[in-house]
Chains A and B, each alone.
Chain A
Amino acid sequence: MQYLPNILFAIALIAGIGFFVINIRKLTRNIKLGKDINRTDNKSERWKNMIRIALGQSKMVRRPFSGFLHVIVYVGFIIINIEVLEIIVDGLLGTHRVFKGFLGDAFYGFLIGTFEILAALVFVAVILFWTRRNVANIKRFLSREMKGWPKNDGNFILYFEMVLMTLFLIMNAADPAFQQAGIGNPISKFIVPLFDGFSTETVHTIERTAWWIHILGILVFLNYLYYSKHLHILLAFPNTFFANLKPKGQFNNLASVTNEVKLMMDPDADPYATPAQGEEDVVPEKFGASEVTDLNWVQLLNAYTCTECGRCTSACPANLTGKKLSPRKIMMDTRDRLEEVGRNIDANGGAFKDDGKQLLNDYIKPEELWACTSCNACVEECPVNIDPLSIIIDMRRYLVMEESAAPQELNAMMTNIENNGAPWQYNQQDRLNWAKEK
């Protein structure tokens, strides 16, 4: 019986982590549904970006208020993991505050003291975040796409953090030996008087309960990530690593198109030539994207990483002038559809079964896509280097090249380029007239 808590703890730990691993597997499988793209060049710059942007939060602090609060919560999260490590060792070995003896009173006290202060700061930051989200009428939290789950998700995370921080402090406060040592309790010592007059027994029960709920809460939180925008605490790292390094104005040249254009323009090319070996059964490629599987894996990783913060949308000229386009919604739609495709694959024994839906039209409407000025403000703003513009352009490519469904005026513009070499209807022979006028 003596080992029962240890065994229960081990079971909880294994279940928690096991479930998490299963979900992460699904996540990587889904991301790999995307087309291949090489993003392993220039490794040193990629590492630098990751360290600066994901670890160093450099783009986060461009908005000083939310940036500062975010840094507190983020540092709190990272450092508190040392505490979690102690809980895990204690839980498995049945020890109590095992690091104390190990690290020495002074250093241990310093560490736990720091955590307590951070926990208090995180608590305050979380309350401010909650107020911004729910009371302060900030436009980017009130957009159309932020109703229902996205709104609740944002709040759940904040409640979670409040509860976890409180439990941590109660757990310390209800540990008489720790309090008597008088090290590392700068915050919890103010909670101690609450337990005045409680029996030793009761205080111990409080301590154990807080301890258990704290660690179980962390395991639940870990598994909640997969279902939440909070996934960014993990994916921000690969996402910034694999982000585009080229100039933002440089759009990729579709290789499939290059081949066809070269064939078309090469007078010597034989259209009936037998394809080179290995090319016989190549399915003609679809131009552009109408479904998540037409996007590349970096775009899909982007979708899972999106924190729904709306910084992109709040900088988008189309959105600022009341058009339907919201780059955040583009990312959220992509993720929602990808999840749906993933569930479909799971339900159908590993193969996707046509559900009569796709990303284009069922989630993202052409009207949204056509409102984009390709200005890159969204890309510049995103604190984790997501590129909503690349998805918008890939979908426009599908609309134009597969469906010939561009707005009428754009068709006219393109016809002009084709016939006169200019988007307007002028004669190419008049190209130099400007030099002769005054």
Chain B
Amino acid sequence: MIVPTMAEMMAQGKQPEVLFWVGAAGSYDDRAKKISRAFVKILHAANVNFAVLGTEESSTGDAAKRAGNEFLFQMQAIMNIEVLNAYEVKKIVTCDPHSFNTLKNEYPELGGKYEVFHHTQFIQNLIAERRLKIDENTLQGKRVTFHDPCYLGRANEVYESPRDLIRRLGVNLTEMKRSKRTALCCGAGGAQMFKDAEAGDKEVNVLRTEDALETKPEIIATGCPYCNTMMTDGIKFKEKETEVKVKDIAELIAEANNL
């Protein structure tokens, strides 16, 4: 798989069309790495001239900021902004709604102004520009439900682009009783991913998985690597891994198109 870096591009005197911000999960987490690879396959299929920062990428600081460590967040932000600005980055795409939110909303004030896309928005544009087509036969008729990531949905009011892509797969899209602006969190946000939950009578991801299972899905579609982990764990907890798969929309598109 060819994944060019900004440094390589610069050495060749080239400027890519878009920077793919991979994020820490997309770089290191075994499950999320598959999402990064699926998305790169889509970028290649659509002939998008892209690059990543590679070893020059660092945490956006999202988790630190939600945990309350504004110092660490701003240090990360200022470092990242220096790198991004040195490469004269204009457009960024990411599969991680947390990176998306932070880069889009919190970096501008600190000197980092970019046009930022969630991968579902970016793919939607590729389709509109006729650079990509989705095969609607491969997954035809499968029952799919979509879990809205809080940082894409409520936080930035992006509800339609993931749904639009799912519909293009020719599948049967069902909605959970809590969806869009009333969607329930997967339980990972606000730095919860990195700590044990406070005492209660249930884990949030289990409750959310129950919401999803009520729709009797074959596939739970997600648009966030953390939601993906939480829902996958939920499905395991409910011992449903043979019947229900948790897949990122990028993976579903790559699969549909046999990439």
Number of residues on chain A facing chain B (CB within 8 A): 70
- A136: Cβ under 8 A from any B Cβ: no
Interface-centre pick from A249, A287, A370, A435 (highest chain B CB count, 10 A): A249
- A414: Cβ under 8 A from any B Cβ: yes
Q: Report whether B194 and A409 are in contact in the complex, using a CB–CB cutoff of 8 Å.
A: yes
What A residues does B193 contact at CB under 8 A? 423
What A residues does B246 contact at CB under 8 A? none
What A residues does B113 contact at CB under 8 A? none
- A288: Cβ under 8 A from any B Cβ: yes
| A317 touches which of B22, B184, B195 (Cβ 8 Å) | B184
Query: Given contacts A261-B75, A318-B200, are A414 and B64 in contact (CB under 8 A)?
Result: yes
Q: Report whether B203 and A321 are in contact in the complex, using a CB–CB cutoff of 8 Å.
A: yes
List chain A positions with a Cβ less than 8 A from chain B: 246-251, 253-254, 257-258, 260-262, 264-265, 287-288, 315, 317-318, 320-325, 367, 370-377, 379-381, 393, 395-401, 406-407, 409-410, 412-414, 417-418, 421-424, 426, 428-437
Interface-centre pick from A258, A379, A417, A433 (highest chain B CB count, 10 A): A417
Q: Tell me, in angstroms, the Cα distance from A251 to B65 when the chains sit together.
A: 8
- Whole-angstrom distance between the Cβ of B25 and the nearest chain A Cβ: 9
- B218: Cβ under 8 A from any A Cβ: no
- B19: Cβ under 8 A from any A Cβ: no
Q: Could you list 23 examples of A-B contacts with CB < 8 Å?
A: A248-B155, A253-B70, A258-B110, A317-B207, A317-B208, A321-B200, A321-B202, A321-B204, A323-B200, A324-B199, A371-B200, A373-B187, A373-B189, A373-B192, A374-B190, A399-B68, A401-B70, A414-B67, A424-B28, A431-B57, A434-B28, A435-B1, A435-B36
- B156: Cβ under 8 A from any A Cβ: yes
| B184 touches which of A250, A325, A377, A401 (Cβ 8 Å) | A377
- B105: Cβ under 8 A from any A Cβ: yes
Question: Which B11-70 residues sit within 8 Å CB-CB of chain A?
Answer: 22, 24, 26-29, 33, 36-37, 40, 52, 54-55, 57-59, 61, 63-70
| B194 touches which of A265, A410, A435 (Cβ 8 Å) | A410
Shortest Cβ distance from B37 into A: residue: A434
What B residues does A430 contact at CB under 8 A? 27-28
- B121: Cβ under 8 A from any A Cβ: no
Shortest Cβ distance from B3 into A: residue: A435
- B109: Cβ under 8 A from any A Cβ: yes
Q: Report whether B198 and A367 are in contact in the complex, using a CB–CB cutoff of 8 Å.
A: yes
Q: Report whether B189 and A375 are in contact in the complex, using a CB–CB cutoff of 8 Å.
A: yes
Q: Report whether B26 and A423 are in contact in the complex, using a CB–CB cutoff of 8 Å.
A: no
